[in-house]
Amino acid sequence: MKLHFSPTSPYVRKVRVVAAEKGLDRKIELMSSSPWVENDLPKSNPSGRVPTLIADDGMALFDSRVIAEYLDEIGGGGKLFPAGAARWPALRTAALAEGILDAGVSIANERRKDKAHWSDWYIGRQKDKIGRTLDTLEREAGNLSGPVDIAQIGVGVALGYTGFRKHVDDWRKGHPKLAAWYEGFSQRPSMTSTEPKEPIA
């Protein structure tokens, strides 16, 4: 398999964490494909976004949620997407985490414009979304226990991203349960091996 990736994308990191948890990371060739320069990426994914996975049969898969479920299906070990009644709370928490990524990436994209065109109103709205979602995850931190799943991976990546980009002053402040949980989760090899080394978009 091949993964169109950018080392700076939190959606890519989510997929890479899933691959590592499923023992598939060595079966995926990383292809550097910045979505911000001209390249072949739109031939595989018309939205021109990373991550885009090219499966062994040539099928191009996107977005990160679909790729994550695909890898969960074909990889080894326990299921990251729970079945039955446990599926919906897990997907709900994963969607909360995704909201943090979407808001953070929206801020990063706004800041791609000339500074004179930045909208403080728009950036403020995105920061409010991140703050409210952190508060919700703190209230629901009890859902992050048990075997690793897509909810935990989503939240781990979202907290890593928020801390790295500093979209809010200090996400740990006011979120002690999340902070304590992240302390342990961020030490998983899947997380340490995918830690971003430069500002991420």
Ligand X SMILES: N[C@@H](CCC(=O)N[C@@H](CS)C(=O)NCC(=O)O)C(=O)O
Query: Where does this chain bind ligand X (CB under 6 A)?
Result: 9, 11, 35, 48-51, 63-65, 105, 201
Helices then strands (H, E): number in the chain? 8, 4
What are the structure tokens assigned to 61, written together? 């898969």
Residues 7/198, Cβ–Cβ less than 8 Å:
yes
> Among residues 109 and 136, whose Cβ is nearest to ligand X?
109
Smallest separation (angstroms) from ligand X to the CB of 85: 25
Indicate the residue among 63 and 138 with the shorter CB distance to ligand X: 63
CB-based contacts of 82, cutoff 8 Å, min separation 6: 90, 149
Q: How far is the CB of 50 from ligand X (least distance, A)?
A: 5
Q: Please report how close the Cβ of residue 174 comes to ligand X at its closest, in angstroms.
A: 27
Nearer to ligand X, 64 or 194 (CB): 64
Residues ≥6 apart with Cβ < 8 Å to 61: 52, 53, 54, 55, 67, 70
Closest to ligand X by CB, 12 vs 20, is 12
Tell me the closest approach of the beta carbon of residue 71 to ligand X, in angstroms. 13
Burial 33-57 (b: 16+ CB within 10 A, else e): bbbeeeeebeebbeebbbbbbbeee
